Chains A and B, each alone.
Chain A
Amino acid sequence: MFTSLKNFIDSRLGRGIVLDDFSNDAGFFIRISSHNLLSVAFFLKNDPDLRLALLDQIILLPPGFLWPAENSYNEIVYQLQSIKLPYRVSVTIIDDGKRMIQSLTSLYAGAEWHEDELRAQGCNIEESGENI
């Protein structure tokens, strides 16, 4: 069991992955760069000390809801939880429109509809591949 998710990820993946840590009583809350999303999500899902295998939801927040108002970019929150360990984690990224955000459907099949809606609202998320 750990108390700081940032320190835990720093020790496993290296420093600089987690940009900010806003954890509180509601759960662990970290911010990462969008280009690290898929690798961090893979780690969070598969690390035996985390096992965040359940996708809770993917939330799009308007600019300024988590960071200062001068930030004009949308904020995307990925909420994950573990069914075997008592962890709830929210991972946030900023969609600055400059780079494509990786799809998480290869890890979480349930991300498909969420990502469809985010694309419909203007987010720059890559297509998940062939639809059935």
Chain B
Amino acid sequence: MTKSTHDDSLIISRLEQKELSNIKFFSSRSEFFPLVTTVLLKPIFGTLPINIGLHLHLIGNKIINARVDRGYYHQAMEQTFEALSPHDAIIAIGRINIKAPLFYQVTLMNAYLSLLDEKPIHAPRMLTSAMEIVRAYHHLNVVQSILLCAELETLATFAGECELFLKQPFTLFSRIFSTSSAPEPMSSTEMSVAIAEALQRVEELSHAINLEEQLVKRLSRKGILTQALACSWGLSGHYIRANRQYYDLRNRELNLYETPIKVSATDGGDAYARFTLRIAEIIASLIYVQHQLTVLDNFSPLTIESNFLAGAPTDRYAVSEIEGPEGIIKASIFVNDKEQKVYRLRIPAYYIAQAIPQLVRQSDLRDLTILLASLGITAEEIDK
């Protein structure tokens, strides 16, 4: 929403913003290659005024080449942190991804803790359980989008019902709250029931999806990324694990994940391999949380005080990284002699967006929507 201090007529509502940012479709014939049609689709992520578009070069319906049109790159979030206290920065970073802000907040919080040489403030089991609940919810959201794009409405509705069982735990743990704004805690019984119901339904969903040949046709051998290509593009997470590599930071963060979490890998490197990995990770996350429930008896939201880490840094460089749902999230903080800080965030969506041309090349135009839905990223994450 834009606002001028002088002219209120410039204020427009979110609804008007959405109406103004209709998807634009421009088409032209190439002068030198008459068979090639150039198409611009904009925006391709969401309808906020962050217009990220996609130039496509087509022969018939086949995408032979693509280029992402990402416009002006803001980096506003990283610059904003320089003026904020650690508490305010951790609360603010949640805006990068309103659907799963916890991972970014935990990454930045751990970077601050490392910079000040402090111990973790939240019990590992509670923190990792919260992250796995948010991870499962995020993946379910993406799975539902993929099923809708594949025109499997029944399965998509079922995925939505699975999400409903996780809704309350997700609302409680989706972010780190300021102590003044934390929601009410859940009882252990409510949490156990929600996780058990969600797990049962996800396992049923997984079984139903395995029988669905249409989904295999829509995703198999599409959006192929080999391990070497994925690394070259800076991709991590299931882009690596879809190429038979059990690379997952959760099994390296042994001080955080005291109980190892099951990490799956598959092969093929295509969109279907990554899709099956999402289902497997949902199940692994819920089983992990269910196991932690036998030990945890307190499900209060994660909070930080307003004077959190208000001390002088003990080092000039600190880094923290977390295995997010779409790849490695990393926060680096550099400090100079005058204790001024520079922040840099590694957001998986940035790399995924950059690799979109590689993913959609040689695909049919009709597969574009399902491929974009399978990425699981938002425009705000790309833009930071």
Interface residues of B (CB under 8 A from A): 65-67, 70, 73, 75, 114, 227-229, 231-236, 240, 245, 247, 252, 315-319, 328, 330, 332, 334-337, 342, 344, 346, 350-351, 354-355, 357-358
Q: Is the Cβ of A56 less than 8 Å from the Cβ of B234?
A: yes
A56–B327 alpha-carbon span in the complex (Å):
11
Contacts A54-B236, A117-B73 given; does A66 touch B316 at CB 8 Å? yes
In the complex, the 8 A-B pairs of residues with the closest C-beta atoms, listed nearest first: A110-B234, A53-B231, A110-B233, A83-B247, A55-B234, A109-B232, A54-B231, A65-B336
Contacts A26-B114, A86-B252, A113-B354 given; does A108 touch B234 at CB 8 Å? yes
- Whether a CB of chain B sits under 8 angstroms from the CB of A3 is no
A69–B338 alpha-carbon span in the complex (Å):
10
Contact partners of A110 in chain B: CB under 8 A: 232-235, 351, 354-355
Contact partners of B233 in chain A: CB under 8 A: 108-110
Contact partners of B319 in chain A: CB under 8 A: 26-27, 88
Q: Is the Cβ of B336 less than 8 Å from the Cβ of A113?
A: no
A127–B258 alpha-carbon span in the complex (Å):
46
B195 → chain A closest CB, angstroms: 31
Interface residues of A (CB under 8 A from B): 22, 24, 26-27, 29, 53-57, 59, 61-62, 64-66, 68-69, 79, 83-84, 86, 88, 107-110, 112-113, 117, 131-132
A59–B66 alpha-carbon span in the complex (Å):
26
- Kindly identify which residue among A24, A65, A131 contacts B334, using a CB–CB cutoff of 8 Å: A65
* Beyond A110-B233, A131-B67, 13 additional pairs, beta carbon < 8 A: A24-B315, A24-B317, A53-B228, A53-B231, A55-B231, A56-B234, A56-B330, A61-B334, A83-B231, A86-B252, A109-B354, A109-B355, A117-B73
List 24 interface pairs A-B (beta carbons < 8 Å), by A numbering.
A26-B315, A27-B319, A53-B231, A53-B232, A55-B234, A56-B234, A57-B234, A57-B330, A57-B344, A59-B332, A59-B342, A61-B334, A66-B316, A69-B336, A83-B227, A83-B236, A83-B247, A86-B252, A108-B234, A109-B229, A110-B232, A112-B354, A113-B73, A132-B66
Q: Is the Cβ of B346 less than 8 Å from the Cβ of A83?
A: no
Q: Is the Cβ of B232 less than 8 Å from the Cβ of A108?
A: yes
A55–B236 alpha-carbon span in the complex (Å):
10
A59–B337 alpha-carbon span in the complex (Å):
19
A68–B338 alpha-carbon span in the complex (Å):
11
Contact partners of A66 in chain B: CB under 8 A: 316-317, 334
A88–B318 alpha-carbon span in the complex (Å):
13
A29–B317 alpha-carbon span in the complex (Å):
10
Q: Is the Cβ of A59 less than 8 Å from the Cβ of B67?
A: no
B230 → chain A closest CB, angstroms: 8
Nearest chain B residue, comparing its CB with the CB of A108: B232
Contact partners of A22 in chain B: CB under 8 A: 317
A132–B67 alpha-carbon span in the complex (Å):
6
Q: Is the Cβ of A26 less than 8 Å from the Cβ of B318?
A: yes
B72 → chain A closest CB, angstroms: 10
B60 → chain A closest CB, angstroms: 19
Contacts A26-B114, A66-B316 given; does A57 touch B346 at CB 8 Å? yes
Q: Is the Cβ of A83 less than 8 Å from the Cβ of B316?
A: no
A32–B63 alpha-carbon span in the complex (Å):
42
B323 → chain A closest CB, angstroms: 12
Contacts A26-B318, A54-B236, A113-B354 given; does A61 touch B342 at CB 8 Å? yes
Residue from B228, B231, B236 with most neighbouring chain A CB atoms (10 Å): B231
Contact partners of A29 in chain B: CB under 8 A: 317
Contact partners of A131 in chain B: CB under 8 A: 67
A131–B68 alpha-carbon span in the complex (Å):
11
Q: Is the Cβ of A65 less than 8 Å from the Cβ of B245?
A: no
Q: Is the Cβ of B234 less than 8 Å from the Cβ of A54?
A: yes
- Kindly identify which residue among B229, B235, B337, B355 contacts A64, using a CB–CB cutoff of 8 Å: B337
Contact partners of B344 in chain A: CB under 8 A: 57, 59
